[in-house]
Amino acid sequence: MRKLLVLLLIFLLCGFSFIGCELEASEPDTSFTDESKSDASNTDTSLSDIPVEESIDANPIDNNEVNEANPLDNSIKELEELEEVWIETEYEAYETGILDVRVKWYNTLNDEMMFGEFYTLEEKINGSWEKVSKETDINYGFNAIGYGLGTNDARWHTYHLIPYTDGLPLGDYRISASFSRMTLDGNDYGAGKYPDYQVYGYFNVGDTMIKRNITILDDSKIEYLNEEYNFGIYLPKEWEGLQTSTSKETGDEDLDELFRKIDDEFIVMNIRHPKWTVEEPYQDISFAIFRTEQWNDNVAAAVNDDFDLLPLQIPGGGHEFVFRSNPMAYNSSFKGHEEVVEIVGDGHFNSSIHDY
């Protein structure tokens, strides 16, 4: 009998312990719960885990609530504008179906700026600006590249619209981009302290193309633009009326042979001063143009890895072309020789030739 009572007591104690465990398990521990009501809080993905391309342009989670901490939020966030830095689209109006818009960045401060590839495309609808988007399964991304904008400087940049549209219809649009101010009164802000600002480039899409009267920061100069080979040159106003020509010869057979090994379709671009005559020749701006793919494939073998054999690199050409000086065209006895040497410069940081 005593054994039976002991067994009954043990059974009752175990039963109460089991019930207590069940009650405790049914009450979740809220000490580490994210109180945000967003569905995003239930994911294990942190901002550092998201690829650059996805964190820039992935669609936000639709939970009908504003979540300022949501790293996937791509709603329009406007920054302050800096009056002395702005952009202008090359055309005031483009034809329907446009997929590329070239803009010119301007900086009239004595401080350096930097902008990147990322931008948004916006359309004016019922008086307010709304982000343009399209239905697609492609996860478009933007390269993490910084473009420097020097003091009192301007440069061209092309925005490809394909992440947002397969061709714009009629309407009023703007490119919305941001940039960072790198210096204040010539002093670097320091890593992580660069202030960001916003710029807008306005244009409309209609039935005809209308060229914009682009701002020239220095009215003592002109800007020659070559769309075929993606370059521009700032020149003294006396060059207005210049002439261009192309050939397949540099003036030196050995150099021609070397260039043909790199790209058998290379050309020599010559830009001639309008006052040039046979009796009084002016110095030409002369450089060779190679296709980038052929250059990358063949240049090392052509010079046997001795890259000192190559003439001076010239800026311009975008991603499609590589430019190299044509040293055979330069003659110190020609009029304007020193001026042309200064225009060409000796590298990317002091040349008047640039991407377009």
Which CATH number does 85-211 carry?
Answer: 2.60.40.10
Angle between helix 292-302 and helix 253-262 axes, rounded to 10 deg? 120
What residues are paired with 123 via a beta bridge?
Answer: 130, 173
Rounded percentage of the chain residues whose pLDDT exceeds 70: 78
Burial category of 165 from C-beta neighbours within 10 Å (exposed 0-12, middle 13-18, buried 19 and up): middle
Q: What is the mean pLDDT of residues 344-349?
A: 75
Q: What is the DSSP string of 300-326?
A: HHHTTT-GGGS--EE---TTTEEEEE-
The reported pLDDT for the residue numbered 122 is: 97
Q: Which residues make up the CATH 2.60.40.10 domain(s) of the chain?
A: 85-211
CA pair distance 102, 201, nearest whole angstrom: 10
Percent helix / strand / coil, the chain, rounded to 5:
20, 30, 45
Task: Report the 10 Å Cβ neighbour count for 354.
Answer: 19
Residue labelled with tokens 């021609």: 256
Region of 186 (left: φ > 0; alpha: ψ -120 to 50; beta: rest) is: left
Sequence-distant (≥ 6) Cβ neighbours of residue 151 within 8 angstroms: 107, 109, 110, 111, 112
Q: Who has greater pLDDT, 61 or 335?
A: 335
- Listed in sequence order, the DSSP H helices in the chain are 2-25, 52-57, 253-262, 292-302, 337-344
- The predicted-structure confidence for 76-123, as pLDDT tens digits, reads as follows 557 999 999 999 999 999 999 999 999 999 999 999 999 999 999 999
Please say if the pLDDT value at position 149 is more than 80. yes
Q: Who has greater pLDDT, 122 or 145?
A: 122
The reported pLDDT for the residue numbered 57 is: 37
Q: What tokens were used for 207?
A: 């039935």
The reported pLDDT for the residue numbered 348 is: 62
The reported pLDDT for the residue numbered 349 is: 62
Task: Report the 10 Å Cβ neighbour count for 32.
Answer: 5
Q: What tokens were used for 14?
A: 């175990």
Q: Are 103 and 87 in contact (CB under 8 A)?
A: yes
State the number of CA atoms in the 13 A half-sphere of 156 facing the CB: 27
β-strands 196-206, 171-181: how paired? Answer: antiparallel
Region of 167 (left: φ > 0; alpha: ψ -120 to 50; beta: rest) is: left
Longest dimension (CA), the chain: 135
Nearest-5° angle of CA 82, CA 356, CA 155?
20
Q: Are 272 and 243 in contact (CB under 8 A)?
A: yes
Please say if the pLDDT value at position 326 is more than 70. yes
Please say if the pLDDT value at position 72 is more than 50. no
Weakest-pLDDT range from 53-67, 113-127, 149-163, 303-317 = 53-67
The reported pLDDT for the residue numbered 48 is: 31
Range 263-281 burial, b when 16+ CB lie within 10 A, else e: beebbbbbbbbeebeeeeb
The reported pLDDT for the residue numbered 78 is: 72
Q: What is the DSSP string of 187-227?
A: EE--TT---EEEEEEEEEEESS-EE-----S-TTEEEEEET
What order do you get walking across the sheet with 285-291 strand by strand?
243-247, 267-272, 285-291, 321-325, 313-314
Q: What is the mean pLDDT of residues 16-24?
A: 41
Helix (H) / strand (E) containing 100: strand 100-107
- The predicted-structure confidence for 256-299, as pLDDT tens digits, reads as follows 999 999 999 999 999 999 999 999 999 999 999 999 999 999 99
CA pair distance 143, 134, nearest whole angstrom: 20
Q: What is the mean pLDDT of residues 248-261?
A: 96
Rounded percentage of the chain residues whose pLDDT exceeds 90: 69
